[in-house]
């Protein structure tokens, strides 16, 4: 695998970039195929390594998987002879692997899932998942790095209040509750578009769910599900990333398939720093106000509908060339400033104090050899490289394949000088 990206900076972009289906939504939807022997077909599925990792995991559990790259469709079908062991060698690659736990327990009454891996951006424990599933009737032990779960007969609906919002725990609990006996009431749930997309798909499968997108969800358990086809929601994080790509290079670009309604807080912030975004029926147009410089701002990452933590690193790259001093406070993950030392290597002026980053804007960044540490950090360095003077070489870029479909091709088509080797 080619592990480095080379960028010749300070090239304006022009053209149209298509926005792919949401990685985070795909990884939540795919385990739903374990709930029934009926086929689940997903459309608008991006070609990403995380999606392939989930495909591999589902195959290991007995799911028949067919991905058509040409039309981006994914067909999933799991027989009643499903296996229950989610092996460490697969699970260690991706935290979303834990999302098979709820469906396996709901349908088969047992599961054995390795403790998950993924990006090194914080502890992200699974205690909320286990707490909620235990409330539904599952019993757990952790042995030799595996979570072992069993259900006496059938999960039973109940009232569960999460102490704080968690997308993963919300998704796992919803998928378990749709086959539980009786009614489940979930309070303080995650409200992210990816949760809404999951509920939309599950309802098409025959599940009875009310309240998705709100802090309270009611689920009435059902006995059987049906064959379903569902189109994955657009990737709001990719959309935000390419909005910043246009802004940071002072370019005029079009983003097709995007929807600002899923990014209202982010759109408000980029407008505040001087970026114009025009929504039409077919595309979003992105450009700076009168080609002016970027203004400073303060950002606080929060659960949806707040500013997404998955766009924090990209926004920091943009603010590193803003006029004045900006502040970013990271409330979601305790270790999500790993890109800062690399941006500093490129000339950024950033100081870290706990969960706060103070960014004093500089006139320009300069190309340098840097190293990616996680998915969003890697793309923040790509953005910085696009605007930097000279050449930027980014190492360890396998992270970017986890969440950005053909990013090199998309940027090159708009005039960026960028290649992988």
Q: Which H, E and C letters describe the chain, residue by residue?
A: CCCEEEEECCCCCEEEEECCECHHHHHHHHHHHHHCCCCEEEECCCCCHHHHHHHHHHHHCCEEEEEECCCCEEEEEECCCCCCEECHHHHCCCHHHHHHHHHHHHHHCEEEEECCCCCCCCCCCCHHHHHHHHHCCEEEEEECCEEEEEECCCCECCEEECCCCCHHHHHHHHHHHCCCECEEEEECCCCCHHHHHHHHHHHHCCCEEECCCCCEEEEECCCCCCCEEEECCECHHHHHHHHHHHHHCCCEEEEECCCHHHHHHHHHHHHHCCEEEEECCCEEEEEEHHHCCCECCEEEECCCCCECHHHHHHHHHHHCCCECEEEEECCCCCCCCCCHHHHHHCCCEEEEECCEEEEECCCCCECCEEECCCHHHHHHHHHHHHHCECEEEEECHHHHHHCCCCHHHHHHCCCCEEEEC
Is 119 among the residues known to form the active site?
A: yes
| Catalytic position from the list 26, 119, 199, 207 | 119
Any idea which residues carry the catalytic annotation?
119
């Amino acid at each position: 695998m080619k592990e480095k990206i080379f960028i010749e900076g300070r090239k304006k972009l022009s053209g149209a970039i298509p926005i792919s289906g949401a990685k985070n939504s795909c990884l939540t939807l795919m385990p739903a195929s374990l709930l029934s022997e009926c086929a689940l077909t997903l459309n608008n599925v991006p070609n990403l390594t995380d999606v392939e990792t989930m495909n591999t995991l589902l195959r290991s559990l007995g799911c028949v998987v067919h991905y058509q790259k040409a039309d981006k469709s994914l067909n999933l079908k799991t027989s009643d002879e499903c296996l229950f062991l989610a092996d460490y060698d697969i699970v260690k690659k991706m935290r979303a692997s834990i999302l098979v736990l709820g469906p396996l327990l709901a349908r088969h009454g047992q599961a054995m899932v390795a403790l998950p891996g993924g990006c090194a951006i914080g502890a992200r424990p699974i205690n909320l998942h286990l707490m909620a599933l235990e409330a539904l009737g599952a019993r757990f032990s952790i042995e030799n790095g595996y979570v072992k779960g069993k259900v006496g007969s059938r999960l039973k609906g109940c009232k569960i209040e999460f102490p704080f919002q968690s997308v993963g725990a919300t998704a796992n609990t919803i998928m378990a509750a749709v086959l539980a006996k009786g009614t489940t009431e979930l309070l303080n749930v995650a409200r992210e578009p990816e949760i809404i997309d999951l509920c939309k798909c599950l309802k098409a499968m025959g599940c009875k769910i009310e309240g998705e997108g709100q802090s309270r969800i009611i689920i009435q358990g059902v006995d059987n599900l049906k064959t379903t086809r569902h189109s994955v929601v657009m990737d709001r994080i990719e959309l935000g990333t390419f909005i910043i790509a246009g802004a940071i290079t002072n370019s005029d670009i079009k983003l097709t398939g995007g929807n600002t309604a899923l990014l209202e807080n982010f759109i408000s912030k980029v407008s505040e720093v001087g970026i114009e975004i025009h929504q039409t029926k077919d595309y979003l147009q992105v450009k700076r106000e009168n080609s002016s410089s970027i203004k400073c701002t303060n950002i606080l990452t929060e659960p949806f509908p707040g500013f997404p933590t998955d766009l924090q690193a990209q926004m920091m790259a943009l603010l590193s060339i803003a006029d004045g001093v900006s502040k970013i406070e990271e409330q979601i993950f305790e270790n999500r400033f790993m890109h800062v030392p690399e941006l500093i290597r490129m000339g950024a002026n950033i100081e870290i104090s706990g969960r706060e980053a103070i960014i004093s804007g500089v006139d320009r960044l300069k190309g340098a050899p840097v190293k990616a540490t996680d998915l969003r950090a890697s793309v923040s360095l790509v953005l910085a490289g696009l605007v930097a003077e000279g050449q930027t070489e980014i190492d360890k870029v396998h992270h970017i394949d986890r969440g950005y479909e053909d990013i090199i091709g998309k940027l090159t088509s708009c005039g960026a000088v960028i290649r992988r080797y």
